[in-house]
Amino acid sequence: MNKTFSRIKTQSLNRLDLSKKGSVDEDIEHVVSLLNSCEQFFTTSSCSGRIILIDKAAGSSDAHKQNCVWLFVSHQKCTCDDLMSGLSRSCGDAVLKFEPFILHVQCRRLEDAQLLHSVAVNSGFRNSGLTVGKTGKIVSAVRSTHGLEVPLSCHGKLLVDEDYIQFLTQIANQKMEENLRRVQRLAFWSLQENQHHLMFFQNLQSAMSAERQHISDTLGTQEHQDSQHTHKKGRRGEQGTNKQNEINLNKRRPQHETDSCHGYEDSSLPELDDCLDLFT
């Protein structure tokens, strides 16, 4: 399984980026690099967040972006002029959208996916989730919920005035700012109003470091227990030989010596070490 995952990871990371942009968004490069540097993760898709204006066929209920004309797209804040320029080219039903940060990560084990999911949720990405495919493929989706979708035109005719477009521009930019703040939680600790807020990036680093330390401690404890167990087995072997000698000796003693309580406990009850082994 480990070799298979490593092979799939190598193939995936070496594959051509098929997104419209063709590269990882600058604002999340550090997060993607961190995850891909860990042997138990690799990213399959990502978006730092974007403001888009799309034009779908007039009267169509199909809102899939691949079937629409992209009038405007930005991974940063936009201006009212940007949106008005895009709307001037609308021939169908124009829709303004803000789509927040999203990240898909394939994980080696379910425990790794659970770790990433826990960190994501605790860092504010409460729309995150896990999927497990029929072939055992495990994917963690890191995402939030503060999106925006507003229809602006119908059959190429603008439905609102420019003041409303200006208002929507402010709303979309506010959401982009909030989105970038959440992305920064992937990167560092923030001190705000004298309170430490745990941010996703260092939270993830700390969680993985703790996981590695736990594994190391567990292995060390197991080695110590194995050593102690081997030592106990040697002691019990010696005690068994001594008890056998006592039994043979008792067989040669007179009957009144073998009926003592001490002799009965030695020959019939388990040793203390044997009892303790039941709890180790």
Sheet holding 93-99, edge to edge: 69-74, 50-56, 93-99, 148-151
pLDDT at 235 over 60: no
Per-residue pLDDT band for 118 (boundaries 50, 70, 90) equals confident
CA atoms within 13 Å, Cβ hemisphere of 49:
28
CATH number of domain containing 91: 3.30.1960.10
Structurally, the chain folds into a number of domains equal to 1
Per-residue pLDDT band for 274 (boundaries 50, 70, 90) equals very low
Q: What is the DSSP string of 8-70?
A: HHHHHHHSPP-SSS-S--GGGHHHHHHHHTSTTEEEEEEE--EEEEEEEPTT-----GGGSEE
In a domain, 222, yes or no: no
In a domain, 247, yes or no: no
In a domain, 20, yes or no: yes
In a domain, 118, yes or no: yes
* pLDDT, mean of residues 92-121: 91
Q: Which domain holds residue 36?
A: 1-197
Q: Which residue has the higher pLDDT, 74 or 200?
A: 74
pLDDT for res 255: 44
- Whole-model pTM: value is 0.64
pLDDT at 74 over 70: yes
